């Protein structure tokens, strides 16, 4: 019987990934860059253009760890580009009060350097496609779409506004920053010719939130698909969250102490639940510490709050793993990685029904609060926590749902979406 020859193995496509933040040992944007590259490398040859604008003494060590990790995984080639002198000066000036917007000017210069390097690499050994991955903020789409091969962009975020009703609770500096950002955001979404050009040149665009998707379709007149930017990993043995008899409900809050995180909403909500058995563990630190700690100390619940400060990621995960419920009160985010990490720990999440967390958290794994004004948020978080305190079976049910949702939000699931889009576009382009 004549044997049918096997089809030839598919050539590994060459992917040029723009991931300004790229760190095999990092989290947030840097972790996003690494995790996507790591997963893509199973099927593709991945070159990652990455860099920085604010030099840090740890940079050489971080780069060495990342290069070692790339060699261990295989099929990942990092190309590090340090910002030129002007770009770094702009980034340094952006740290001064009220000058935060200068960082984007420096980052724009870095993208021009990245394009020059990409042209050099492409001329030497052509790529099959490009993908602008991070930063995920839509304001800077990069320039790799100008190479003339299939280009992908996203997931992107940044269109949601800080509700004006919350700005009255911000410190003066934060009011200037986020109020100014709201105005600039409104203008840039509609008027940025670079964003429109990049969107038009992209074979596929992924958007984090519904607001982001509508921005692409309404203002740039291009289709976009929902996709959250971060993924979860299971770090500990799974167990369903349920307080032992007589044990308080352990609530965990984690984040940088910035005005947009609105921790006072949680404090005021818990102050109305003084007759119930609970304790709050707070991870993080930041500029709002000078306002938030005195507020907490003025409340009758002050002895039920544990302030852990800024701790290493492993220690933070240990604290979270000892908790039952994760509180995320932010009013402006992409998809906070800590939310997905909480789900991977089986922790139900209480959050605002907005931004990326509003997509990540569904009715199976958490409770969501309308994002309208501080009063509505305080009442909403208080009602959600009260349900967990008074409905014994709600917490374990949501905990089981958290594990299920975390599996759906894995890094691998995102790369599957990327991979299918890559294959579709390169077949058409061939």
- Delineate the domains of the chain, giving CATH numbers in brackets: 14-157+192-230+410-429 (3.40.50.2000), 249-408 (3.40.50.2000)
Q: Which two tokens stand for residue 259?
A: 């005005």
Please check whether residue 48 is in contact with residue 39, taking contact to mean a CB–CB distance below 8 angstroms: no
Residues forming beta bridges with residue 80, ordered by sequence position? 50
pLDDT tier at 184, thresholds 50, 70, 90: confident
Question: CB-side exposure of 188: number of CA atoms within 13 Å?
Answer: 20
User: What is the spatial distance between Cα 65 and Cα 62, in angstroms, rounded to a whole number?
Assistant: 5
Supply 273's token pair: 């639940």
Mean pLDDT, the chain, rounded, equals 91
The pLDDT tens digits of the residues spanning 87-116 come to 989 988 888 887 878 888 999 999 999 999
Q: What is the pLDDT of residue 429?
A: 61
Cα distance between residue 118 and residue 130, in whole Å: 10
pLDDT 10s digits, 10-27: 689 999 999 999 998 877
Paired with 132 in beta bridges are 18, 153
CA distance 259 to 175: 8
SS (H, E, C) 103-144: HHHHHHHHHHHHHHHHHHHHHHCCCCEEEEEECCECCCCCCH
How many CA atoms are closer than 13 Å to the CA of 374, on its beta-carbon side?
A: 17
What are 332-364's pLDDT values in tens digits? 888 888 899 999 999 999 999 998 899 999 999
Q: What is the mean pLDDT of residues 119-133?
A: 97
Band (138; pLDDT cuts 50, 70, 90) = very high
**CB of 255 within 8 A of CB of 367?**
no
Q: What is the pLDDT of residues 220-265, one digit of tens each?
A: 999 999 998 888 776 778 889 999 888 999 999 999 999 999 999 9
pLDDT in tens, 379-427: 999 999 999 999 999 999 999 999 999 988 888 888 999 999 999 988 8
Within 8 A by CB and 6+ apart from 162, the residues are 178, 179, 181, 182, 260, 331, 332
- pLDDT score for 1: 47
DSSP letter at 322 equals T
Q: Residues with Cβ < 8 Å from 263, sequence gap 6 or more? A: 253, 255, 257, 282, 288, 292, 329
Burial class of residue 304 (count of CB atoms within 10 Å of its CB; 0-12, 13-18, 19+): middle
Q: Which two tokens stand for residue 131?
A: 């993908």
């Amino acid at each position: 019987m004549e044997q049918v020859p096997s089809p030839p193995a598919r050539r590994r496509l060459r992917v040029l990934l723009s991931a300004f933040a790229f760190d095999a040992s990092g989290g947030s944007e840097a972790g996003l860059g690494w995790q996507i590259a790591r997963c893509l490398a199973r099927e593709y040859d991945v070159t990652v253009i990455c860099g920085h604008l604010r030099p840090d003494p740890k940079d050489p060590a971080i780069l060495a760890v990342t290069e070692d990790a790339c060699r261990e995984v295989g099929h990942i080639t990092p190309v590090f580009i340090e910002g030129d002198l002007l770009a770094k000066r702009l980034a340094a000036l952006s740290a001064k009060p009220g000058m935060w917007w200068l960082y984007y000017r420096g980052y724009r210069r870095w993208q021009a350097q990245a394009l020059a390097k990409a042209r050099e690499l492409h001329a030497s050994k052509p790529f099959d496609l490009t993908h602008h991955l991070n930063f995920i903020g839509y304001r800077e789409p990069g320039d790799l779409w100008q190479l003339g091969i299939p280009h992908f962009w996203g997931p992107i975020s940044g269109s949601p506004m800080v509700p004006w009703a919350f700005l009255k609770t911000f410190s003066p500096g934060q009011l200037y920053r986020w109020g100014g950002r709201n105005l600039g955001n409104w203008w840039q979404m509609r008027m940025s010719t670079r964003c429109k050009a990049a969107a038009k040149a992209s074979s596929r665009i992924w958007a984090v939130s519904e607001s982001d998707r509508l921005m692409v379709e309404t203002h740039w007149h291009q289709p976009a698909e929902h996709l959250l930017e971060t993924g979860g990993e299971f770090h500990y043995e799974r167990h369903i969250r349920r307080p032992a008899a007589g044990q308080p409900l352990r609530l965990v809050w984690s984040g940088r102490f910035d005005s947009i995180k609105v921790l006072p909403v949680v404090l005021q909500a818990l102050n109305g639940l003084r007759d119930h058995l609970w304790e709050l563990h707070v991870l993080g630190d930041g500029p709002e510490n000078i306002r938030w700690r005195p507020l907490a100390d003025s409340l009758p619940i002050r002895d039920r709050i544990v302030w852990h400060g800024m701790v290493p990621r492993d220690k933070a995960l240990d604290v979270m793993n000892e908790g039952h419920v994760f509180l995320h009160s932010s009013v402006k985010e992409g998809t906070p990685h800590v939310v997905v990490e909480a789900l991977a720990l089986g922790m139900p999440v209480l959050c605002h029904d907005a931004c990326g967390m509003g997509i990540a958290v569904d009715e199976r794994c958490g409770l969501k609060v309308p994002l309208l004004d501080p009063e509505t948020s305080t009442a909403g978080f208080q009602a959600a926590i009260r349900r967990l305190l008074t409905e014994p079976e709600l917490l374990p049910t949501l905990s089981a749902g958290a594990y299920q949702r975390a599996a759906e939000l894995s890094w691998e699931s995102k790369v599957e979406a990327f991979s299918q889009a890559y294959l579709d576009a390169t077949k058409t382009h061939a």
